Structure 1
Amino acid sequence: MFFLLGSFYKIEAQEISQISIEQANQLARQNYPMVKQKDLIKQTANLNIENFSKGFLPQFTITGQATYQSDVTRIDIPVPGFKIEPLSKDQYKVLADVNELIYDGGVIKQQNELQQLNSEVQQQKIEVELYKLKERVNQLYLGILYLNAQKEQVALIKQDIQIGIKNMEARVENGVAFRSNLNILKAELLKNQQRIIELDASQKGMIETLELFMNAHLRKDVVFEKPNIQSSSVEPIINRPEIKLYTDQSKMYDHQSKIIKARNQPKASLFLQGGYGRPTFNFLKNQFDFFYIGGIRFNWALGGLYTKKNDNQLAQINKRTVDLEKETFLLNTNTQLKQQQSEIDKMNLLIASDEEIIALRDSVKEAAKAQLQNGVITANDYLTEINDEDQARQSLITHQIELLQAQINYQTISGKQ
């Protein structure tokens, strides 16, 4: 019983009764599968760095061999009272080699730093993809707001039609109007109800899609908050995730020169080699025995010096390519911002004009309402005025949503959170 109550409470806790566009984007981001890749990238980088760092630990190698050779070194000079036994042609050896790096020219350090930079680049690529999710969520959210406004407008039209029906019914009962006029109004009311059915179905599909993105359940009476966008005359600072991606990539190519330099440095290591076999280091002793040797090794691979200059140039070319991509991105982004600002200015002018048109249409409709009641005009004439006002209000709704869309696009393009 307690388990069932707990499960019921958990389901209820997931329901949302009021939501904003910022909350919708936040929930969609948290639920998007791609966001989990960031942790995997970080774990991969940490494991690689840990592996690189183990390069300074002693490295053990065990080898063994058994050979037979056609001849061996012999000393054929007779020495009175001393006999030198020749080596056996079958020889055996088991070696244990321990090598510990003490100086690598900075290769491991630079590899660790490069791995960290690469991890940041990969994670930022995820951020770029996640940012595209905002556009999809914003479109869904604004689509739902648009349908809400449409439903409110349809409800207003329904009231006007019902008022007309009530007046016409009274006139029909008094014998001063034809029933056909009443039927015209009733048919229009049915069409109005059909519009509500269509709008509800469209909105239901959008809400269900938004729920999938957010992994949350929206109540039937959920309130979608209208975004409050503050306009600013100040030139925006572009803060898109792509900018950081270009910066991270540039840092990574800058670091390539450090890697190239480190790889061409001399290396030094300690070594210890021990084993058991025949012959040992004493070739005059043809017996199985233990042996060992230890010391310090120094090596400097000079082959990389041939390509060092070209390698550095390639790194700089890659860096320059990234810089040009960044410049192109900024140019395109600023162009898009100019277009969106022009769209915002246009919509503000259209909305102001819409409001004037609605005021005029509303006054004409109210006059038509009185004329219908007095029998001066027909039901069709009355519906014409209602539809004209409806078209004006539909135009206002469309322009208001388009203004919101342009304002949100402006913020999204600039990277404003």
Structure 2
Amino acid sequence: MKYYVLLLLFSLSARGQLTLPECHRLAEQHYPLTKRYDLISKSAAYTIDNLKKGYLPQFSLNAQATYQSAVTQIPISIPGVNIPALNKDQYKATAQLDQVIYDGGEIAKQQELQKSNEVVSRQQLQADLYALKDRINQLYFGILLADEQLKQNDLMLADLQLGLKKTQAALDNGTAFRSNADLINAEILATQQHNIEIASSREAYANMLSLFIGAPVTSLEKPASLSLNDSIHRPELLSFDAQQRSLLLQDQLLTVGTRPKVGFYIQGGYGRPGLNMLDNSFRAYYLGGIRFSWSPSAFYTLKKKRAQIVVNQQEIAVQKETFLFNTAMTVQQESAAVNKYQQLMTSDDAIIKLRSQVKTAAIAQLENGVITGNDFLKEVNDENLARQNKSLHEMQWLLSQYNQQTTTGNL
């Protein structure tokens, strides 16, 4: 992944522009939460490896020393035969090997369940990281809007400086008042101040975006408009499905728990007495055999445990239904916003054209002393506002499209 990030950053520096999809990818790779992917995989691998060891022979060592108040005695006396009495202090040390022959499929099912839980964790993490896209969208389009506003302000400054030049010429000819030039100069200064504010906001947005993606932000590519798709493909849906599969495996594991288990064991020991209870000396011994175990008590709680799993499945189904409902509502709102800004944009060009014509006429009128500086500034500000509105509506239109596609999971 480090090689991929370095290669991507090199290509960006060569091209000079960042795109929105590249910012999404870099943000997901750079965000600290991404490190959980590796941790989830390692944790699952360790757990599965430990489960596999359940098939290996299991060794155990035991030792004990006891003192008892009475021992076994033979209540008869045989002439000529000495039957020794057991000591009341007794000792035993054993080593035992147990090997599973049949466990009803429990270990295999537990491994399957652990793999399923790993998928659940990864899907939940993917859903958490997906929320980054919305934050990147806001910062990305905020920078683009600031760039557009700076461009429009530069155009306004050019108009003001042209108006100042015309006014200065009229002033030199004695056909204008000094106050007209002062008004335009004041507006130029105010516009330059506004540029400083916009540039500061852009720098703040760029710095935040740079922290998210781990790369410097200079120039951003303006995204193209999208063909909207209302179908929902969010990673949360895959998380809900993975949780349902995990619950199904838990139900199957309950069935496995009701099956008998078979294994064999070998035990070697040393103690007093040994296996021969009539021999009161320290002896080594061994024994082995097959062990069969089955507990009907597993059925006592089986029904309630399965009922609890059904309740959990229903809970997840309700969460999924609620998520789809809320997401569909958000998609409807964002689709309505896309349509609204599209309609506003259709009239922006006409408004700009009319405002531009009025401003052009105002420049000529100012030069001839027909209108005052205030009148000229009003027309310049009106045209600038129309251009600013167009830029704002276009950015909002694009942002609404990308928000809608982010909400549906199609971005």
2:226 equivalent in structure 1: 230
Q: SS in structure 1 opposite 2:219?
A: strand
Aligned-partner SS, 2:99: strand
Question: Is the 2:20–2:221 contact (alpha carbons within 8 Å) kept by the matching residues of 1?
Answer: yes
Instruction: Give the one of 251, 268, 272 matched to 1:274.
Output: 268
- 1:14 Cα deviation from its structure 2 partner: 9.5
| Matching residue within 362, 387, 392 for 2:381 | 387
Structure 2 distance, partners of 1:384, 1:77, is 129
Match of 1:375 in 2: 369
Q: Determine the C-alpha separation between the residues in 1 that align with 2:166 and 2:33.
A: 60
Is 1:345 the counterpart of 2:342? The answer is no
Partner residue in 2 for 1:244? 238
Conserved 8 A contact 1:56-1:101: yes
What is the rounded CA distance, in whole Å, between the counterparts of 1:257 and 1:141 in structure 2? 47
Cα distance in 2 for residues equivalent to 1:369 and 1:199: 27
Q: What is the CA-CA distance between 1:180 and the residue it aligns to?
A: 1.6
Structure 1 Cα separation of the partners of residues 351 and 93 of structure 2: 99
Partner of 2:123 in structure 1? 124
Deviations 1:281-340 (A, max 9, x none): 111211111011100001112111011111111111111211121112112212221221
Q: Who is 1:50 aligned against?
A: 49
**Partner in structure 1 of residue 17 of structure 2:** 18
The code of the aligned residue for 2:389 comes to: S
Aligned length: 403
The residue identity in structure 2 corresponding to 1:264 is: T
- Quote the offset at 1:80 in angstroms: 3.2
Please tell me the residue identity of whatever aligns with 1:156. Answer: L
Given the alignment, which residue of 292, 303, 308 partners 1:309?
303
Contact 1:182–1:379 (8 Å) recurs in 2? yes
State the partner residue of 2:173: 174
Paired amino acid for 1:131: Y
Extract unaligned runs of 5+ from structure 1.
1-8
State how far apart, in whole Å, the 2-side matches of 1:382 and 1:318 are.
70
Task: Trace 1:211-230 onto structure 2 (pairs within 5 A).
Answer: 211-218=210-217, 222-230=218-226
Query: How far 1:160 moved relative to its partner?
Result: 0.3
Alignment match, 2:198: 199
1:297 is matched with 291
For the aligned residues, what is the CA RMSD? Answer: 1.7
Q: CA deviation at 1:15?
A: 7.6
Counterpart residue number, 2:393:
399
With the length of structure 1 as denominator, give the TM-score of the two structures.
Answer: 0.93
d(CA) in 2 for partners of 1:34, 1:208? 20
SS in 2 for 1:349: helix
CA deviation profile, 1:138-196 (whole Å, cap 9, x unmatched): 10001001111100110010000010111111111122212221111111111111111
Q: Aligned partners of 1:40, 1:156: CA distance in 2, in Å?
A: 53
Query: Would you say the 8 A contact 1:15–1:217 is kept in 2?
Result: no
The answer as to whether partners of 1:264 and 1:304 remain within 8 angstroms in 2 is yes
| Alpha-carbon distance in structure 2 between the residues aligned to 1:200 and 1:14 | 27
Equivalent-residue separation in structure 2 for 1:339 and 1:198 (angstroms): 31
Check whether the contact 1:28–1:214 (CA below 8 A) recurs between aligned residues. yes
Q: C-alpha distance in 2, partners of 1:229/1:183?
A: 44
- 1:4 match: none
Check the 8 A contact 1:14/1:217 in 2, yes or no: no
Q: Deviations over 1:43-90 (max 9, x none)?
A: 101100110111111111111111122221222422233221111122
Give the TM-score of the pair, scaled to structure 2: 0.95
* Equivalent-residue separation in structure 2 for 1:180 and 1:66 (angstroms): 112
Q: How does 1:134-213 map to 2 (within 5 A)?
A: 134-213=133-212
CA distance in 2, matches of 1:248, 1:26: 24
Percent identity between matched residues is 42
CA distance in 2 between partners of 1:317 and 1:384 (Å): 68
**Contact 2:12/2:18, CA 8 A, preserved across alignment:** no
> In 1, distance between residues paired with 2:311 and 2:187?
69
Note the residue ranges of structure 2 that are not aligned, 5 or more in a row: 1-5
Amino acid at match of 2:225: I
